[in-house]
Amino acid sequence: MRTYLPRRLVATAAIAGLSGATADAASAPIIVKTARNAKLHHTVLVNREGRTLYALSAERRGRFICTDRECLGFWTPLTVRRGARPRETVRSPATIRRPDGKTQVTYRGRPLYSFYADSRKGDANGEGFEDVGTWHAVVPSGR
């Protein structure tokens, strides 16, 4: 059974006013931060709502794999308005343009996603999920 919660989260974040192209970075809301995950026994990247952020092992160097409806039904890209720069509490986030034209947040060059089955802070139900690569919670390095 699929849920459309991730799309609502993205819509809610957009409505809440993620930074715009002309917004000052210091006034932009923090959209990527870290949190200790008890299930994984690591500090991981999380979104504004505290949900675990993941990266797909096969998505590197600008190559997108998660682009079809089926994949996007499970994995929601962490996006910001075009031209926005994410403000964060970790080093190395950036953005990349998705094939659909949206601007997705990346960490060390890897696009960030949330998982549809993570409904609370600390959930990591997408860890180790395999399809065309393996999905892993993003563990920050070089903070």
The residues near 57 (Cβ < 8 Å, ≥ 6 apart) are: 133, 134, 135, 136
pLDDT for 31 equals 81
Whether residue 21 lies inside any domain: the answer is: yes
Whether residue 70 lies inside any domain: the answer is: yes
Whether residue 143 lies inside any domain: the answer is: no
Considering the chain, what percentage of its residues have pLDDT values greater than 90?
A: 57
Per-residue pLDDT band at 119 (split at 50, 70, 90): very high
Q: Beta-carbon neighbour count of residue 135 at 10 Å? A: 21
pLDDT above 70 (res 26): no
Q: Which residue in 63, 66, 74 sits closest to 2, CA to CA? A: 74
Question: Does the pTM of the predicted model rise above 0.85?
Answer: no
Report DSSP letters for 38-49, one per residue: TTTTEEEEE-TT
pLDDT for 62 equals 87
C-alpha 124/C-alpha 63 separation (Å) is: 24
Q: Which residue in 100, 114, 105 sits closest to 80, CA to CA? A: 105
pLDDT for 86 equals 62
pLDDT for 41 equals 93
Cβ pair 103, 95 in contact under 8 A: yes
Whether residue 106 lies inside any domain: the answer is: yes
Segment among 81-95, 104-118, 128-142 with least mean pLDDT: 81-95
Instruction: Render pLDDT for 53-104 as a digit per residue (tens, 0 to 9).
Output: 999 999 988 899 999 999 999 999 999 887 666 655 566 678 899 999 999 9
Range 35-50 average pLDDT: 94
What is the domain range of residue 127? 5-137
Q: Rg (Cα) of the chain, in Å, rounded?
A: 14
Cβ pair 76, 116 in contact under 8 A: yes
The total number of structural domains in the chain stands at 1
Whether residue 142 lies inside any domain: the answer is: no
